Structure 1
Amino acid sequence: MTTNDRPRRGPGRPAKSEAGDTKAALVDAALRLFAQNGFAGTSIRAIAREVGLSESALYAHFPSKKAIHEAAMRVAGPLVAVVALEETPAGAGPAEFIRAFTDRVVTAWDTPRARQAIGLAVRDGLIHDDGLKEGIDGALRGLAGVFARWIEEGRIRDDLGSPEDLAYALLAPIAHARLMGLHGEATAGQRGDARRRMTAHAELFARAVTVPPSGGDR
């Protein structure tokens, strides 16, 4: 078959190598439309048309509108905290780790896509979305594992609760500040306040749980 004889792709249908970019484009388009029309008011057809696809082509990437929303939650929701855990230097001391982890989470949650995603989850009653739960559970498990190691090594206090308690105590106030100030309709002032509260909490938490070393991990 010559180049001229090869079947042409239909309009808007990406090559297989572009599948990842197409999925990302669909998530972005869905978030824009959800913001304009709400989750219930946005159709699969509208999402497909937003990126120049047919409905059938969209279904090659996502089985349902709910699946698109769940993908957005995985990219911009609490699963960001799991990625932040993986990217924070493992050799860092507890206080340094807590500060660096929080900074990565705050930065990732203050992007347009992330703010849009959490705003929609709250507004449209999707706060118990499977993607959100998966991200929260994964982040808490990861943090608990880190705290368990530090307790065993004597690097943080062992009288404040279980590793799971400590993980929740670190992440919950940060997530609450996000809900209040890093949503799609947040003003620049609200975003700044939220970021300051997240950072201040991480600093307080680091000082509260860290065992004072002889040299200084703080």
Structure 2
Amino acid sequence: MARVSPEHLAARRQQILDGAARCFARDGFHGTSMQDVLRETGLSAGAVYRYFPSKDAIIGALAANVLATVGRSFQQAVESGHPPPPDELLTHGLRKVADQLGFPPSMVIQVWAETLRNPELHAVFQDGFAHLLALWTRIVVTYQREGRMRADIEPESVARALAASVQGFLLQRGLFGAVDTSVFTEGMRGLLSFDDGAGERPG
């Protein structure tokens, strides 16, 4: 029997995830069956179940892919020793996700909602977010050490605020349609430029 290469296995797994994502985007998680996934991918039941024993397992894998993609982006910033400013850092992460994950923004909302029902998916997100929060906290510590950010604020508090800004932008895109990432960049730059003592006060 011919031996299947790791590259072939990875490509087949991604084929299933891509097909399932199209189904979920079109019909929602609960409106999609495993039979729908089989038809979308053109694969046999045995081929699909070899990788994913259930629809929930596919949803969990999609969520893990998103978190891993974002995590790799920020890991590079941590390892650089001199991360870019927050507006550039977060924008890069958003673009990385958009480039590498080919499903519509509304899928983000579906996945978040599903975590309230699915304990296993909730655990995936909890672990993934904890990893991202640790990375962002390390980045904030670097900002503070370099004198680029106030040092009298708890780093994790700043990291959580950065995470919330990204989550809020993704939520807007999912609810109201595609918004260019440049809008987020400009908005972050505006917030970062705030100086309570700058300029003349009216009146």
TM-score bucket of the superposed structures, by smaller chain: 0.7 to 0.9
Match among 31, 37, 42 for residue 52 of structure 1: 42
Match among 160, 168, 181 for residue 176 of structure 1: 168
SS in 1 for 2:179: helix
Residue 81 of structure 1 corresponds to 70
Tell me, in whole angstroms, the C-alpha distance in 1 between the residues paired with 2:104 and 2:159: 22
Match among 185, 203, 207 for residue 189 of structure 2: 203
Tell me, in whole angstroms, the C-alpha distance in 2 between the residues paired with 1:162 and 1:142: 14
Residue identity matched to 1:202? M
SS in 2 for 1:113: coil
The answer to whether the 8 Å contact 2:34/2:55 transfers is: yes
Matched residues, percent identical? 22
Task: Provide the aligned length of Structure 1 versus Structure 2.
Answer: 187
SS in 1 for 2:169: helix
Tell me, in whole angstroms, the C-alpha distance in 2 between the residues paired with 1:197 and 1:126: 28
Residue 37 of structure 1 and its aligned partner are, at CA, apart by: 2.2
The answer to whether the 8 Å contact 1:177/1:197 transfers is: no
Q: Provide runs of 4+ in structure 1 moved above 6 Å.
A: none
Residue 66 of structure 1 and its aligned partner are, at CA, apart by: 0.9
* RMSD of aligned alpha carbons: 3.0
Q: Under a length normalisation based on structure 2, what TM-score does the superposition of the two structures give?
A: 0.75
The answer to whether the 8 Å contact 2:88/2:185 transfers is: no
Match among 95, 105, 113 for residue 107 of structure 1: 95
Residues 108 and 153 from structure 1, CA distance in 2 versus in 1: closer, same or farther, beyond 3 angstroms? closer
Q: Under a length normalisation based on structure 1, what TM-score does the superposition of the two structures give?
A: 0.71
SS in 2 for 1:191: coil
Tell me, in whole angstroms, the C-alpha distance in 2 between the residues paired with 1:85 and 1:179: 20
Residue 205 of structure 1 and its aligned partner are, at CA, apart by: 5.6
Residue identity matched to 1:200? E
Residue 155 of structure 1 and its aligned partner are, at CA, apart by: 4.1
Residue identity matched to 1:170? L
Give the number of the structure whose residues are more often helix, by fraction: 2
The answer to whether the 8 Å contact 2:17/2:58 transfers is: yes
Residues 204 and 149 from structure 1, CA distance in 2 versus in 1: closer, same or farther, beyond 3 angstroms? same
Match among 35, 43, 47 for residue 25 of structure 2: 35
Residue 70 of structure 1 corresponds to 60
> Which entry has the higher C-alpha Rg, 1 or 2?
1
Residues 79 and 179 from structure 1, CA distance in 2 versus in 1: closer, same or farther, beyond 3 angstroms? farther
Residue identity matched to 2:185? T
Residue 24 of structure 1 corresponds to 14
Deviations 1:124-143 (A, max 9, x none): x3144333333322211111
Structure 1, unpaired ranges of 5+: 1-5, 210-218
Tell me, in whole angstroms, the C-alpha distance in 2 between the residues paired with 1:17 and 1:85: 26
Tell me, in whole angstroms, the C-alpha distance in 2 between the residues paired with 1:202 and 1:82: 20
